[in-house]
Amino acid sequence: MNPTANATRTGYSTADDIARNLSLVRDEIANTAAKIDARQVADLAGLLSQPGSVFIAGAGRSGLVLRMAGMRLMHLGLTVHIAGDTTTPAIRAGDLLLVASGSGTTSGVVKSAETAAKAGARIAAFTTNANSPLAALADALVIIPAAQKTDHGSSVSRQYSGSLFEQVLFLATEAVFQSLWDNVDEPAEQLWLRHANLE
């Protein structure tokens, strides 16, 4: 039996604690998002506007954010595949790999980018590290100026382990979707017809 499994927690969160931390998270997201180079994001959106399938690869929470982005891109009518799913085909020349890694060194993500590059596919990447192996492989690179998940003493963020990168990644991918949608003549009702109906 785990001796800590039934341990009583000594602390609890008050409404003041929650309000303070809502402000902390909101302010960190706003400050970091304001530092993103919109031209970098526009270059990435431009790659998504080109013909070809979109493949998505990410690990952990960054990967979950990209899966949400993939769903939105599917709603726009793009053909989207998630790396690792059993029905995902081979990536080919003319396709796009969309990846994210805070450090830019996540082994599976970098390996996916290397494979895509060898196949002649384009690569769009989000990272904090402009000097990383992932950044070097990218045709379109968006730098999110957040702390890396192992930078526990960072002055960039008081949040835990990469949270700020993942939060701002979500915001950036939502802005990409919204911008792409602004430039197509399809109402929300039309996009909704593509939504999953086998839930």
The residues annotated as belonging to the active site are 166
The H-assigned helical ranges of the chain are 15-33, 38-48, 60-75, 107-119, 133-137, 163-182, 188-192
157/141 Cα distance (integer angstroms): 22
* DSSP character string of 126-144: EES-TTSHHHHH-SEEEE-
- CA 57 → CA 80, 111, 116, distances in Å? 11, 10, 11
Instruction: Assess contact for 158 and 21: CB atoms under 8 A.
Output: no
How far apart are alpha carbons 116 and 135 in whole angstroms? Answer: 14
Alpha carbon distance, N-terminus to C-terminus of the chain? 38
